[in-house]
Amino acid sequence: MATREEILQTTRTMKAVHDSSCSVAACAEIIGAKWTALLVHDLSEGPRRFSELRDSCPGISPRTLSERLRTLEQGEMVVRRSYAESPPRVEYELTRKGEALLPIITEMRRFGHLWLVPEEHEAGSSPQGHA
């Protein structure tokens, strides 16, 4: 009979070292950056202007917001659209690649509701509501 160690060694799918070729580490580098998950969550409801994103994340500096949006744009997870209006208008929207992050956000919301933020402490929360 095989030991637990032997079974784990033959069924292990995780890399021994989490380097640049590790898919979990690559995803965590993006979604784990402070504010990024909240920005993806906000953008899940549709295009948002810079000021709307800034207002939905109290405490984020304009510089940090710009950096996070630029990183998401460079990673092709967010598209930035400029409109030639007066005053000029810029909106940010998730791409298909960005939308692929939404199941992660959904699971983060579920975990938060189950283990971190009791519903009675959230104003107007519901199991499917905005976290």
Reported confidence tier of residue 8, pLDDT bands at 50, 70, 90? low
Tally the C-alpha atoms within 13 A of residue 72's C-alpha that lie toward its C-beta: 32
Per CATH, is 35-117 categorized as 1.10.10.10? yes
Instruction: Say whether pLDDT at 36 is over 70.
Output: yes
Measured from the Cβ of residue 40, the count of other Cβ atoms closer than 10 Å reads 23
Q: Are 42 and 101 in contact (CB under 8 A)?
A: no
What local confidence, expressed as pLDDT, does residue 129 receive? Answer: 43
Which segments of 30-120 are extended strands (E)? 48-49, 78-83, 89-94
Reported confidence tier of residue 128, pLDDT bands at 50, 70, 90? very low
Q: Are 45 and 128 in contact (CB under 8 A)?
A: no
Q: What are the extents of the domains in the chain?
A: 35-117
CA distance 129 to 64: 27
Q: Are 40 and 101 in contact (CB under 8 A)?
A: yes
* Full-model pTM: 0.77
Measured from the Cβ of residue 78, the count of other Cβ atoms closer than 10 Å reads 22
Q: Which two tokens stand for residue 33?
A: 């950056």
